[in-house]
Structure 1
Amino acid sequence: MPPLKRAAIDEFFRRLSEANPEPKTELEYSNPYTLLVAVVLSAQATDVGVNKATRALFEKADNPAAMVALGEAVVRDHIKTIGLYKNKAANTIKLSEILLAKHGGEVPRDRESLEELPGVGRKTANVVLNTAFGEPTIAVDTHIFRVSNRTGLAPGKDVDAVEQSLLKRVPKTWRLNAHHWLILHGRYVCKARKPDCPACVVRDLCGFEAKVLE
């Protein structure tokens, strides 16, 4: 399908903005550190599952020093309902130690430093930069990848290609919140198996050939 034209993209985000003026992540966090840990834990897990696991954990440890003091075994016990919890517990302790040793216990605001942390890749770094620090980055997960390709918003063969296409094609006016709008749209409307086309506010702009309008 041909990519959406600039005017259609602008209208696409105007409608998403009108429907949800202040989109937020569904992960529960209280500061950049707890956001970072929550996003690391969310790999191959749902936000709902992560939130259930981290509520008690973050009550005990909402900063790197407190997390290291808890120890890996205690962290593991708190997050054992999450997939890959053993590796994630180890990464949580290791990244906390690095934050204390290299960054004064603070979450760094640059991509290179974030991506040096265990369990942190480009997507996680983008989420932290966008949500914690207000950078206009766009983290491409499975929802955003699907919506971008299915609608013609920003087609790409892999997540890196879609990210670069979105950064190029999404008008600056919408770029700060684009990440959240697209995730939520993909999670609740433009779903993988059965997209809810009748409820979609951008259905007439969408290039999805199999869409159902009734």
Structure 2
Amino acid sequence: MARQLDYHTIRAIFDRFHAAEPEPKGELEHVNAFTLVVAVALSAQATDAGVNKATRRLFEIADTPEKMLALGEEGVTEHIRTIGLYRNKAKNVIKLSRILVEEYGGEVPNSRAALQSLPGVGRKTANVVLNMWWRYPAQAVDTHIFRVGNRTGIAPGRDVVAVERAIEDHVPVDYMQHAHHWLILHGRYTCVARKPKCAACLITDLCTFEDKTT
């Protein structure tokens, strides 16, 4: 596990991220809080591009829990067949839609615990929704952020919760809102798993990764 970078180095890293992309955005398409929850739940073990392709038509038809229930499990299944684990995900979409209607009046709750009580919604999904929809500086740690946090020394940790806490503890507050977007995009396109693109990396001189590529 990499050593934890100091405050000044982390601030310099996020200064560069901000200069390159002041307003980073999540790549999952959605039209409201409900479709965001569904999209993020569907994205487990799937690419954002694949989820977007499957949900464009689905969200035109069913952009509320009530409409999703009316569509039914088989209807949802038909739209998301191209996504991994689609049958189980379709069941969860219907289950969470029913809970939202019966327990929350059709509205998506904005507490982490309430979100995590929904089928198919874990801590990462809840944090994405809190961050992207309610602008709460929650840190959704996926495999990309876990890798970048540990490689760079920005947020080393032995599990996703430890990395999440390291981000919260060490990233300057003024960069916290967008921190997970900068980190996930960096991991998705530059600090990739097998052969990181160190020569093209804007923070390579600040990073602790020992096996830099040339």
State the TM-score, normalizing by the size of structure 1: 0.98
- SS in structure 2 opposite 1:194? coil
- SS in structure 1 opposite 2:101? helix
Q: C-alpha distance in 2, partners of 1:110/1:164? A: 18
Which residue number in structure 2 is paired with residue 149 of structure 1?
A: 150
Deviation at 1:177, TM superposition (A): 0.3
Tell me if 1:88 matches 2:93. no
Output one character per residue of 1:103-124: Cα deviation in whole Å (capped at 9) or x when no partner.
1111101011101000001000
Q: C-alpha distance in 2, partners of 1:110/1:84? A: 27
Output one character per residue of 1:113-141: Cα deviation in whole Å (capped at 9) or x when no partner.
10100000100000000001000010100
Deviation at 1:198, TM superposition (A): 1.2
Q: C-alpha distance in 1, partners of 2:133/2:104? A: 16
Deviation at 1:2, TM superposition (A): 2.1
Structure 1 residues 1-214: aligned runs within 5 Å = 1-212=2-213, 214=214
Output one character per residue of 1:136-163: Cα deviation in whole Å (capped at 9) or x when no partner.
0101000000000001111111111111
In structure 1, what residue type is equivalent to 2:60? Answer: E
In structure 2, what residue type is equivalent to 1:22? Answer: E
Output one character per residue of 1:169-214: Cα deviation in whole Å (capped at 9) or x when no partner.
11101000001000000000000011111111111100101113x4
Q: C-alpha distance in 2, partners of 1:141/1:89? A: 22
Moved over 6 A (4+): none
Deviation at 1:72, TM superposition (A): 0.4
In structure 1, what residue type is equivalent to 2:164? Answer: E
In structure 1, what residue type is equivalent to 2:25? Answer: K
Q: Identity across aligned pairs (percent)?
A: 62
Q: C-alpha distance in 2, partners of 1:164/1:17? A: 21
In structure 2, what residue type is equivalent to 1:191? Answer: V
Deviation at 1:69, TM superposition (A): 0.3
Output one character per residue of 1:72-110: Cα deviation in whole Å (capped at 9) or x when no partner.
001001001101100100000110111111111111010
- SS in structure 2 opposite 1:71? helix
In structure 1, what residue type is equivalent to 2:40? Answer: V
Q: C-alpha distance in 2, partners of 1:107/1:9? A: 34
Query: Alignment RMSD, CA only?
Result: 0.7
Q: C-alpha distance in 1, partners of 2:163/2:53? A: 31
- SS in structure 1 opposite 2:166? helix
Unpaired runs of at least 5, structure 2: none
Deviation at 1:3, TM superposition (A): 1.3
Output one character per residue of 1:46-72: Cα deviation in whole Å (capped at 9) or x when no partner.
001000100010010011000000000
State the TM-score, normalizing by the size of structure 2: 0.98
Q: C-alpha distance in 1, partners of 2:122/2:195? A: 30
